[in-house]
Chains A and B, each alone.
Chain A
Amino acid sequence: MLKKQIPLAITFITGVIIVVTFFIPHPPFGRLQQDALTWYSVIFGFTMLLGVDSLVKFHYTKLRRREKGWWFSIVFYCGFLLSFITGVISEVRFGDAFNINSSFMYFYNTILIPLQSTMFALLAFFIASASYRAFRARNIDATFLLVTAVIVMLGRVPVGYMLWHKLPDLTSWILNVLQLGPMRGIMIGISLGTVAMSLRLILGIERTYLS
């Protein structure tokens, strides 16, 4: 009862209240959807604490057992403590760790930004190698995909314009017209699926989140 029925009841009651308040745009119901988003963020904050705790414990265990590559866990702790300590100091000193002059933001710009953007930039190589292996014009469908991708890639760089001056216009037409229809169809399909899943959750048909 406490482990299964109460969670199902909580989901049903909250879900129904949130849906009903959408149709009553008057106080106190009118603000509830907005408030619910805040509540969501607050609970997410607590889960963040759980996540970071789990990560810290994982590296602690790795260090204690001297597992393979244990010294990388020291690097993890150095990074973690650096951002955490500078964050706390900046929060106390400026009242806002995200102040542009804070040490927290200095390390953010020096460490996190280069690491993050290079990590994403690295994907360019993997996409290129994956497409080299996967892109084969085996049938008409694959040919359509290949030709469109090549046109879009060429149309967005100066060399495309040099090859054929109408290529950038053709790329814009593909992105704004030809792509719009199927993307809209996919979006409608996804939204209908989302509605169905939300109804299943509220009505207690979908219970996998409790396992």
Chain B
Amino acid sequence: MIEALSIWVAAGLTLAIMSFLYGDNPVYKFAEHLYVGYSAGYWLIYTWHFTIKLMVIQPIAEKQPGAVWLVIPLFFGALMLTRWFPRIAWISRWSIAFTVGIGAGLTLTGAVHGYIIPQVKATILPLWTGNGLTSFNNFVIVVGVITTLIYFFFSKPHTGVLGKTSKVGILFIMVAFGASFGYTVMARISLLIGRLDFLWSSILKLVQFF
């Protein structure tokens, strides 16, 4: 019985969201508000369990090494809550500044170490490998990277050789965007097929139930 009820609810909510295709209507608005409300409660429980309980309470209760340093984020987190009191709300800027500092520091090292160096390293490819197809592929990749970077180089006017190279770059970029677009469309279509399949199998299950 509970299974049949959950199928009814899930199928009903799926149809309620899909009703938006007809236009904005009360059934869609009902599902939308339920979605937002449920998500808010879900993320609150998620944050409590995975952040506060596992990252703060547990290390402190078990006296794990370095747990004393958790005072720092707790302090700045508490300062963030000063937003509730308009007269001292400006103190929350300290917490924002702290997170911005951490974010900037991590991004700076992460971008160089995790993206720029590996991507440049992976682009330094042999243009002749002995195999015609591999060599051609390597050539296409190297030309694609260089011309794309030249297209985004705005410090000089795109005239002459720079202009022609950037024209090739924009063609490569268009191909990449087209491929990404096609890939995204197919991913959404597969999600849609998944939902339609769910609706169809729900009907079959309910028919079997009754």
Residues of A within 8 A of B (CB): 2-3, 6-8, 10-19, 22, 31, 33, 35-50, 52-53, 55-56, 69, 72-73, 75-84, 87-88, 91, 96-98, 104, 106-125, 127-128, 131, 140-142, 144-153, 156-157, 174-175, 177-192, 194-195, 197-199, 201-202, 209-210
Contact = CB atoms under 8 A, between A and B. Distances in A.
A52 B137 contact: no
A100 B37 CA distance: 22
B98 to A, nearest CB: 5
B27 to A, nearest CB: 11
B30 A75 contact: yes
Nearest to B103: A40
Most B-side CB within 10 Å, residue of A15, A150, A151? A15
Given A15-B104, A39-B102, A56-B40, A174 B179 contact: yes
Instruction: Please list the 3 inter-chain residue pairs (A to B) with the smallest Cβ-Cβ separation, ordered nearest first.
Output: A181-B144, A18-B105, A185-B148
Categorize the interface residue count of chain B.
35 or more
A116 B10 CA distance: 11
B41 to A, nearest CB: 3
Interface residues of chain B: helix, strand, loop or mixed (majority): helix
Interface residues of chain A: helix, strand, loop or mixed (majority): helix
B38 A79 contact: yes
Interface in B69-106: 69-70, 72-74, 76-78, 80-81, 83-84, 90, 93-106
Contacts of B32: 72
Most A-side CB within 10 Å, residue of B13, B77, B111, B180? B111
B162 interface: no
A50 B73 CA distance: 16
Interface of B: 6, 9-11, 13-14, 17-18, 20-21, 29-45, 47-49, 51-52, 55-56, 66, 69-70, 72-74, 76-78, 80-81, 83-84, 90, 93-109, 111-113, 115-116, 119-120, 122-123, 137, 140-149, 151-152, 169-186, 188-189, 191-192, 194-195, 198
Contact of B44 (A84, A110, A184): A84
A184 B180 CA distance: 13
11 contacts: A10-B97, A79-B39, A83-B39, A120-B188, A122-B17, A141-B170, A144-B175, A148-B178, A177-B140, A183-B176, A191-B119
Contacts, number: 396
Most B-side CB within 10 Å, residue of A72, A96, A147, A181? A181
Contact of B119 (A2, A6, A115, A187): A187
A109 B44 contact: no
Nearest to A125: B21
Given A182-B173, A187-B119, A188-B119, 11 more contacts: A3-B93, A43-B76, A79-B35, A83-B39, A109-B10, A111-B9, A114-B13, A127-B188, A178-B140, A180-B141, A191-B116
